[in-house]
Chains A and B, each alone.
Chain A
Amino acid sequence: MKDFTIFWGCTIQTRFPFLEKSTRMVLDGFDLPYRDVDGFTCCPEKSLVNNIDHGLWVLTAARNIALLDKAGVDLVSPCTGCVSNLATVNGELHSDNKEKIKVNSILKEIGLEFKGKNKLRHLVPFFHDEVGIPAIKNKIVKPFHGMRIALHYGCHMIRPSHALKNDDPLDPKKFDNLIRAMGAESVQYMTKLLCCGQGLDRVDQHENALHFARLKLKELKSLKIDAMALCCPSCYLQFDNNQFLMEKEGEKFGIPILYFTELLGLAMGHKPEDLGVDSHRVEATDFLEKWQRLNGEFARTDELNRQLEEGFGIAQH
């Protein structure tokens, strides 16, 4: 596997450093060849920078990508927004030579050149395609058998597909496959692909953001799921923080929000507190208790099966 760097992005490092912790723990657990690279800035955030100045959006992203060219590493990110933005600019510059020349004439001044030769991938498709389901299954010691988990892909993990090219943009499968590889049921639901709506919280429309969070949380509550899984800091903010705010005002959902890396880390045998699961605003206590209990029950069943098989073995002789 080619060396890669992790593009953490602003939100994880500023607001949710525990998500960096669980990501590093699972990467280390698989002994993957990653290293930190100095010099990244904001990806930059499309809905903010591109809306105001397209040229600067392209230039800033191109500079981040040029750092990869210089270091000779691929990029993997646990943030959907970062990957989507970088991949979109990468695609734009590959198809617009005039713009590429313009961008490079500026990057030259700081000793960089945009080539865009390295892969830009989100952590979920990276685990699915590069690490692979069999290798993941091999690492799992405490599966989520019997647990009902509802996935939230996050729009920018899969769209725009012309730039990301990593899954079906309207019927994605890879995250589902990974959750199933960990032993859980991936619960299918009506609003599965609905945008989280967090963007509205960044344009002075907090009530509308809550409205979007509610749409999904209400459906999931009615389906009695054990947890929602996602892998985007913005979606995490929407469903953990905004759910907490609504619960404080009396609306009850009780849906723990688990990051892909936290679930994988738990299944690999790490303690919840080491992974930072205790830093969540919506507590995951019920989820963890049920999982521990079911694991105990399944372990007893496995042991019983083993004894029975042994017994039959003896009986045959």
Chain B
Amino acid sequence: MESLNIKLLEVCSKCGACYHICPSCLNLNEGYDPRAVIKDILAGQYEKWLSHKSIWQCLECHHCLEICFQHYGFENAMAAMRTLASKKGLAPTQVKRGWDMFIKTSRLGEPAAPARKKLGLPEAAKSGAEDFKKILKIYQERKESGVRSQKSE
């Protein structure tokens, strides 16, 4: 959980003002309450949330961020949980599928050529897939060697 600022999160756990502006908290009938998740993170008992659908119900609308006097909000805690869940292979199927497509093609879909022709649109600009592949490879190699050097320390 190194990406979370525990100090800010402690203040956050005592405030919770954003509960009253968060669209998911206010509108999801089944109940959505990041305050409970944050409490468990601070107590070191967040494991159970990783497979819970709650952590994917943050809409990333940034309402909480805007009203937070720490400029932190629920969203950072929920995003950290989603990252952890993804690492453990617990992301929803659609997320996994979207990720695979992004890694493979650099996009989440290709321009619809026949529809473009019908609409009289010019040919779509070239994608950056080739260059993306190159930087992805370098990025992954560096990440790998970073992990290895951390482990050997």
Contacts and interface: CB of A to CB of B under 8 A. Distances in A.
Given A42-B102, A48-B102, A67 B128 contact: yes
B128 A63 contact: yes
Interface in A102-149: 106-107, 109-110, 112
Q: Chain A: interface secondary structure?
A: helix
A203 interface: yes
A45 B65 contact: no
Q: Chain B: interface secondary structure?
A: helix
Interface string B101-124: 010001111111001100111101
Given A52-B83, A60-B132, A107-B135, A42 B108 contact: yes
Interface stretch (A32-40, A258-266, A284-292): A32-40
B57 A56 contact: no
B11 interface: no
B8 to A, nearest CB: 16
Contacts of B134: 109-110
Interface in B66-83: 66-67, 71, 79, 82-83
For the side of the interface on B, what is the size category? 35 or more
Contact of A155 (B62, B107, B110, B128): B62
B129 A41 contact: yes
Contact of A106 (B23, B28, B128, B139): B139
A165 interface: no
B71 A162 contact: yes
A216 to B, nearest CB: 10
For the side of the interface on A, what is the size category? 35 or more
A248 interface: no
B127 to A, nearest CB: 6
A10 B66 contact: no
Interface in A14-28: 14-15, 17-18, 20-21, 24
A181 B68 CA distance: 34
B61 A159 contact: yes
A11 to B, nearest CB: 7
B94 interface: yes
B71 A110 contact: no
With most chain B CB atoms within 10 A of its CB, the pick from A20, A48, A194 is: A48
Contacts of B83: 51-52, 54
Contact of B136 (A47, A56, A211): A56
Nearest to B82: A51
Nearest to B117: A17
Interface string A1-20: 00000001011011101101
A134 to B, nearest CB: 30
A51 B79 contact: yes
Contacts of A55: 139, 143
B60 A47 contact: yes
Interface in A52-70: 52, 54-56, 59-60, 63-64, 67
Interface in B120-153: 120-122, 124-129, 131-132, 134-136, 138-139, 142-143
A10 to B, nearest CB: 4
Given A38-B125, A51-B82, A212-B27, 4 more contacts: A21-B119, A36-B125, A107-B135, A109-B138
5 contacts: A15-B112, A38-B128, A40-B128, A109-B135, A160-B65
The 4 A-B residue pairs whose C-beta atoms are closest, nearest first, are A14-B109, A159-B62, A41-B106, A39-B128
